[in-house]
Amino acid sequence: MIVSTWTDKGGTGKTTLAVNVASYFKLPLVDLDPQGDANRFAQRAGLDCRLIDDDLEVRSFLVEKATSKDIVLVDCPPGQGPRSLVAAGLASLVLVPTKPGEQDVIALGRALTVLGKAKASGNPDLEIGVVLNGAKETTRSSMVEEALRQESDRGAFLYLGRLDHRTAVENAYPDGKTLLQAGGAAANEMRSILEKLRTFKILR
């Protein structure tokens, strides 16, 4: 079974989310992004991660894992390239972080449209979780969060919570620390998100 982290736009905190989820749930982490950010982050954090950069190997790996009872966490490249679309389409759970900016929210809408099509065309049990990342104490952040809560209540996805714009989040990658290891307010926010992930049957 596959848990994917994916966005239709870069710079939303996807890889940070992937590493924290993999660490917390002790899941094997696989990096499909040619940039290799998840792999480097995992190495700094002392986590195992496999980087797959061959397209044929990526496809065969995903098809195999989609029908396996073992759970693997796959960090996808941003955008709608073949690797991301296959990894998201075959997943049991896709985690989509977004920031509150206009371009980010529009990209979230595109991602949700893609995932809706995947559910309608062969993967009806696909579940979706959304995280608001880089939130600030602004009117816009509050409005975006309220909209996410409303859509979550309607069943479009499960809103998992927010990570505020904090130094610990920005420093996690260069420091090679998960947010739980970093401590402080960011750790509390991430812990709340991670615990809410247990709502999904694949992570219970």
The mean pLDDT of 166-181, rounded to a whole number, is 92
pLDDT tens for each residue of 62-117:
999 999 999 999 999 999 999 999 999 999 999 999 999 999 999 999 999 999 99
In a domain, 179, yes or no: yes
Amino acid 150: pLDDT: 98
Range of the domain at 84: 2-198
Amino acid 187: pLDDT: 96
Amino acid 47: pLDDT: 93
Tally of structural domains, the chain: 1
In a domain, 176, yes or no: yes
In a domain, 99, yes or no: yes
pLDDT range class, residue 198, cuts 50, 70, 90: very high
In a domain, 203, yes or no: no
In a domain, 59, yes or no: yes
Amino acid 157: pLDDT: 98
In a domain, 43, yes or no: yes
pLDDT tens for each residue of 121-147:
999 999 999 999 999 989 999 999 999
Q: Is the CB of residue 39 less than 8 Å from the CB of residue 31?
A: yes
CATH assignment of the domain containing 33: 3.40.50.300
Distance CA 116, CA 110 (A): 10
For Cα atoms 6, 165, 137, give the angle at the middle one, nearest 5 degrees: 115
